[in-house]
Each structure stands twice: as structure tokens, then as C-alpha cells.
Amino acid sequence: MATFGKHLKSLREEQSLSQEELANRADVSLPQITRIERGVVNPTLCTLKAISKGLGIKIIGLFDFEN
């Protein structure tokens, strides 16, 4: 989960978005975005879909990283 969180953070930063901006775009709570980026929680498929929509990418793009 930590690797996924780091990848999500890099995707967000590539678009110069704050965690709050992503949370608003994705309609996901700011604390949830923070916990996902820290690798503390395992997000649901619905949350991942919302985040990908907030980033303007396909959901598969969230998983395009190496361990």
C-alpha cells in the first residue's frame, strides 16, 4: 500500500494539485486522500474510481507502477 500511495502522490503532484484539490475533484474526503497516500488504508474500488476521475485518468493508470 505504501508504494501505491507514493504513486498516487506523484500522479497528483504531476498535475500540481494539492491533496485538498484532489479530494474536492474526486469527492473523497481529504483525510482519506492523506491516508491513502501514506499507505495506511486500502481504498475501495469506488474510491479508486473517484480518484482516477478526479485526476482525469483511466483507473488503470493508478496501477501503472513498479514495486
**pLDDT score for 27:** 98
pTM for this model (two decimals): 0.93
Where in the chain are the domains? 2-63
pLDDT tens digits for range 3-53 = 999 999 999 999 999 999 999 999 999 999 999 999 999 999 999 999 999
Alpha carbon distance 66, 47 (integer Å): 21
Residue 20 is which amino acid? E
As a whole-number percent, the residues of the chain with pLDDT over 90 amount to: 96
Which class would CATH give 2-63?
Answer: mainly alpha
In this prediction, residue 65 has a pLDDT band, given cuts at 50, 70 and 90, of confident
On the question of pLDDT at 67 being above 80, the answer is no
Whether the Cβ atoms of residue 39 and residue 31 lie closer than 8 Å to each other: no
